[in-house]
Chains A and B, each alone.
Chain A
Amino acid sequence: NAGVMQNPRHLVRRRGQEARLRCSPMKGHSHVYWYRQLPEEGLKFMVYLQKENIIDESGMPKERFSAEFPKEGPSILRIQQVVRGDSAAYFCASSPVSGGASEQFFGPGTRLTVL
């Protein structure tokens, strides 16, 4: 059973371009979470999705950021018109169910660098 897959692992964008980050959850997991880790900071929650639904996007900036988890295919975190402050590591996690007792399994992350 493959773990959580993220691609690309590294992404370089110039200011103003779009960044698209992909996450394939573990097999059998229908809950996906996105986190952002700024340099020297802890991971911060961005958004929680279930298949085709956004459950909680309270941690996601209201401008330029969007996320989806379609019925088929990976979850996508999209950042439009990137700025230097978007440079960070973006981690995706998945779980089979939701709730405090359900462990979230993390992917290797996508490291976004905005030039």
Chain B
Amino acid sequence: KNQVEQSPQSLIILEGKNCTLQCNYTVSPFSNLRWYKQDTGRGPVSLTIMTFSENTKSNGRYTATLDADTKQSSLHITASQLSDSASYICVVITSGYALNFGKGTSLLVTP
């Protein structure tokens, strides 16, 4: 059974601080891994896309890493802002269109 596990389930940090979210997966075969940001009441929006051969990918203050050997990924958020408060979802694509979603990490950035 394909599984995507994320940790922590929820996280509260102060504005300006950094944080790292984790994603472990057992999905096989692996095509690519994506991190999405989902604001409350909205659909997911893609932050980064990484293929098997990529170790790291940045998008502004977001940096994703991938270790395909250990099947782990992380999303690092630098200098957090209040607008970063959202759910961050790790999605692993096996082949074709099959998206395997984690449950997400709920991040709250406080003033």
**In whole angstroms, what is the CA distance A91 to B99 when docked?**
13
**In whole angstroms, what is the CA distance A40 to B49 when docked?**
24
Q: Is the CB of A109 closer than 8 A to any CB of chain B?
A: yes
**In whole angstroms, what is the CA distance A108 to B41 when docked?**
7
Q: Which of A8-25 contact B (CB under 8 A)?
A: none
Q: Which residues of A contact B4 (CB under 8 A)?
A: 42
**In whole angstroms, what is the CA distance A48 to B99 when docked?**
11
Closest residue of chain A to B104 (Cβ to Cβ) is A42
**In whole angstroms, what is the CA distance A69 to B90 when docked?**
28
Residue of A43, A95, A104, A109 with highest tally of chain B CB at under 10 A: A43
**In whole angstroms, what is the CA distance A43 to B102 when docked?**
8
Q: Is the CB of A81 closer than 8 A to any CB of chain B?
A: no
Q: Is the CB of B25 closer than 8 A to any CB of chain A?
A: no
Q: Which residues of B contact A100 (CB under 8 A)?
A: 31-32, 93-97
**In whole angstroms, what is the CA distance A18 to B108 when docked?**
37
B43 is contacted by which of A95, A102, A108 (Cβ under 8 Å)?
A108
Q: Is the CB of A65 closer than 8 A to any CB of chain B?
A: no
Q: Which residues of B contact A105 (CB under 8 A)?
A: 46
Q: Is the CB of B82 closer than 8 A to any CB of chain A?
A: no
Q: Which residues of A contact B103 (CB under 8 A)?
A: 40-42
Q: Which residues of A contact B46 (CB under 8 A)?
A: 103, 105
Contact digits for B85-106, partner A, Cβ 8 Å, 1 yes 0 no: 0000100011111110111100
Q: Is the CB of A2 closer than 8 A to any CB of chain B?
A: no
Q: Which residues of B contact A106 (CB under 8 A)?
A: 43-45
Q: Which residues of A contact B101 (CB under 8 A)?
A: 35, 42-44
Q: Which of B32-75 contact A (CB under 8 A)?
A: 32, 34, 41-46, 49
Q: Which residues of A contact B41 (CB under 8 A)?
A: 108-109, 111
A contact residues vs B (CB 8 Å cutoff): 4, 31, 33, 35, 40-45, 48, 56, 91, 93, 95, 98-109, 111
B contact residues vs A (CB 8 Å cutoff): 4, 31-32, 34, 41-46, 49, 89, 93-99, 101-104
